[in-house]
Structures are given as C-alpha cells and as structure tokens.
A and B are shown apart, each in its own frame.
Chain A
Amino acid sequence: DVKVTQSSRYLVKRTGEKVFLECVQDMDHENMFWYRQDPGLGLRLIYFSYDVKMKEKGDIPEGYSVSREKKERFSLILESASTNQTSMYLCASSRFLAGGPYNEQFFGPGTRLTVL
C-alpha cells in the first residue's frame, strides 16, 4: 500500500512562529504536492515538486515556501505564521507518468494547523 504520512495531525502555533510541516511518501513517487483545504474553497494548491530540489508555485504560494532535499520528503514552511494560515494542510504524491494505473494522487491524513 502506498503510504503518505504527515508529521502531525494537529498543530497549534503562535503568530510569527516559523512552522514546518513534513510529508513523507514510500512509493518512490516523483511528484509531491501541498494543498490547503478550507470550507467552501475546496483544495487549493500551494506548491508542488516533480523532482528533488525542484519546486513550482501553485495557486496560492504567498506566505509559504517548500523544500525537497530527498525524493521521499517534501516540507512546507510557514516563515512567519499568521492567523489567516489556520487551515487543514494536505500533502499528496503521484507517479510522474500520467498514463497507466496508479496515476492518481495519494494523500496524507492532513495536518490541522491553528495559528493563534
């Protein structure tokens, strides 16, 4: 079974803190993604990566950065957390190849971040 794990299920931080969210996948997937999920807004892509050290901005990258030093690990960084970053954060991974089976995204359990 593909497993995507996230370092925390729940996290409470203070405004201005630097926050690290970690994601690890064990299927040797090339692609990894970070989303935030808010009620009524669906999934919004923050950043994605298609290879080690490669990253691209998604739809809402402001206030976030990412790091991918190893293929299996993709970190989301909030340099200075703000209350409007309180949200559910989902990590996902997928194969590079678009065709064939298992071309879907595999998701982690999510991290519910509260910024006070």
Chain B
Amino acid sequence: AQTVTQSQPEMSVQEAETVTLSCTYDTSESDYYLFWYKQPPSRQMILVIRQEAYKQQNATENRFSVNFQKAAKSFSLKISDSQLGDAAMYFCAYRTALNTNAGKSTFGDGTTLTVKP
C-alpha cells in the first residue's frame, strides 16, 4: 500500500517570501500521479498542482512549483512571493495510474501554512 508523509505539521512564511512544503511517499509502482491540494480556513479544498510521474519536468502553476524527485520519492511544493491568501492547510496526495480502486488517493496528514504580513 502507498503511504504519503508530510513531516511538517506547521510552517510559516513572511509575505512575499518563498516557502517549501515537504512530502515524501512510498510506492512500488512506476506510474502514478501526485497532487498538492489547498484547504483555506472554512473553505473548499482545491487542487493546486499535479505531477505525472512519467514526466521528468517539474510542474509549475504561476507562483506554485514542485520539486519532483522520483528516485528519492520526494514531492515538495514551493510557493514563491507568498501572499496572505496562501494561508491554508496543504495536503500532498498520491493516485495510482491504474484505473482501479475507484481512483482512491492516499493523502498526507497536511501542513498548515501561516503567512505573516
């Protein structure tokens, strides 16, 4: 079974600075998808960024980028030019590329990010 570990329960960053959230995972599969989700306080969880394991290039979405190290099974999220609206709980998640298990994802325990003005 896959496991996802987020070793930082809480992180803080100064507005306009850069922060990196860590995620490691364990799997025996070679093809899979990785996601970062954002859950703002009292608001709906939404996708921030996704990475296909077969792609070597790291995904980027505006101020959000990932550092995907497949051999090390590491998938960190970098937030550049942090904004107050980035304050949220962030979840790392894994989904197999196989069309099985109803698309279950394995989630980490989350990292609460605080952005200081």
Chain A residues at the B interface, C-beta cutoff of 8 Å = 30-31, 33, 40-43, 45, 48-50, 56, 58, 90, 92, 94-99, 103-105, 107-110
Contacts and interface: CB of A to CB of B under 8 A. Distances in A.
A11 B35 CA distance: 30
Given A31-B103, A49-B102, A50-B103, A99 B97 contact: yes
Interface of B: 9, 33, 35, 37, 43-47, 50, 91, 93, 95-99, 102-105, 107-110
B104 A48 contact: yes
Given A98-B95, A98-B98, A103 B103 contact: yes
Contacts of A103: 33, 50, 95, 103
5 contacts: A40-B109, A58-B104, A98-B96, A105-B93, A108-B44
A45 B104 contact: yes
A115 to B, nearest CB: 20
B67 to A, nearest CB: 20
Given A96-B99, A98-B99, A109-B43, A42 B33 contact: no
A32 to B, nearest CB: 8
Contact of A42 (B46, B91, B102): B91
From B9, B35, B103, name the one whose CB has the most chain A CB atoms within 10 angstroms: B103
Nearest to A44: B107
Nearest to A45: B104
A107 B98 CA distance: 21
A96 B102 CA distance: 6
B82 to A, nearest CB: 23
